[in-house]
A and B are shown apart, each in its own frame.
Chain A
Amino acid sequence: GAVVSQHPSRVICKSGTSVKIECRSLDFQATTMFWYRQFPKQSLMLMATSNEGSKATYEQGVEKDKFLINHASLTLSTLTVTSAHPEDSSFYICSASTGRDTEAFFGQGTRLTVV
């Protein structure tokens, strides 16, 4: 299957700082990328959908000013957690899709810890 690389896999940051997470499709062009969040022992919740070259669509309850998503190319989407606080600590996972396949391909996830 296609490969999606997410970086970093783990990050620890101080409260009040910003953190950028990258999601790259390595061997295909992803017209759409999805960002999910997973709290410990819980399911994955969709945060936003991003299409290359356009603004991301955020799910209800997700603060767009706090979770900045950029999808500037067909192989890269970034999620920036701005002014991070301990309650933002979570596992963030991206997935990428060409829109034509039956599946979206997932990155390895990023464990964010805000101290």
Chain B
Amino acid sequence: GEDVEQSLFLSVREGDSSVINCTYTDSSSTYLYWYKQEPGAGLQLLTYIFSNMDMKQDQRLTVLLNKKDKHLSLRIADTQTGDSAIYFCAESFTGGGNKLTFGTGTQLKVEL
């Protein structure tokens, strides 16, 4: 089976950059995703990257993918208090039809 690991907790000051990391073991993934979950809510897709890309930037978000090391990261620039949430990385596979394997989740706390 696939294992997707994330650090449990990250605390940053407002205005700083946040970097959330994710490691996975299955190299056959097609897309890798970052989702945001606020307390008691569903999942909000933030961004995704195709597995043959190294980087993707979308406004304050930068995704870096190192396929060799099976490492994915999400950088949030100018982190705001509204960014406080749990962040999940997830991967999908060829033929999986958007079935996702989720990481363990990282709780981001933004302090003033």
A interface, CB within 8 angstroms of B:
1, 6, 32, 34, 36, 42-46, 49, 93, 95, 97, 99, 101-104, 106-109, 111
Bound form: Cα–Cα A108–B99 in Å: 17
Task: Spell out B's residues near A (CB within 8 Å).
Answer: 31, 33, 35, 40-45, 48, 50, 88, 97-105
A104 touches B98 (CB 8 A): yes
| Cα–Cα distance between A103 and B46 once the two chains are bound (Å) | 11
Cross-chain contact B41 with A46 (CB below 8 angstroms): no
- In the bound assembly, the distance between CA atoms of A6 and B43 in angstroms comes to 12
Q: Which secondary structure dominates chain A's binding surface?
A: strand
Task: Tell me whether A42 and B97 are in contact (CB under 8 A).
Answer: no
When the two chains form their complex, are residues A49 and B104 in contact, meaning their CB atoms are under 8 A apart? Answer: no
19 A-B residue pairs with Cβ-Cβ distance under 8 Å, sorted by A, are: A34-B99, A36-B102, A42-B104, A42-B105, A43-B105, A44-B43, A44-B88, A44-B100, A44-B102, A95-B100, A99-B97, A102-B50, A103-B33, A103-B98, A104-B98, A107-B42, A109-B40, A109-B42, A111-B40
Tell me the smallest distance from the CB of B66 to a CB of chain A, in Å.
21
Partner of A108, one of B35, B42, B104: B42
Query: What 4 additional pairs, Cβ within 8 angstroms, besides A99-B97, A99-B98, A102-B31?
Result: A43-B102, A44-B43, A103-B33, A104-B99
Whether the pair B98, A43 counts as a contact (CB closer than 8 A) is no
Pair B88/A49 contact, Cβ less than 8 Å: no
